[in-house]
Amino acid sequence: MPKTLADMDLFSIVEAGKVIISDKGIYSQVDLFERGDMLFAGYRRGFVRLLARNLTTVPNVRWDAIEGVAYREEYNGAKLGEEQRRTTKLIAAE
């Protein structure tokens, strides 16, 4: 049975969130996205996952700050705070 759009685990923009990333020393302010419980930054024509210790899934790209939303850093990357996750889920459900 095919999944409906509501059942898919797609990238969703976090409305109030922005990320400051550094790509080989050049800083950019980009949109913040989530997929499941993982956080991502918009990068070029895709996304980079925000890992622990300000690393990303692209070796030359690091994240410096997440602004506009509550988040927590865990051993496997940055995650939205619980209150922020509930708000995001309510908006997605509407």
Per-residue pLDDT of the chain (94 residues; tens, 9 = 90+): 555 655 668 899 999 999 999 999 999 999 999 998 899 999 999 999 999 999 999 999 999 999 999 999 999 999 988 765 545 544 444 4
Residues with Cβ < 8 Å from 37, sequence gap 6 or more? 79, 80, 85
Contact 64, 44 (CB under 8 A): no
Please tell me the predicted confidence (pLDDT) of residue 81.
82
d(CA 60, CA 13): 23
Task: Domain ranges for the chain, please list them.
Answer: 5-87
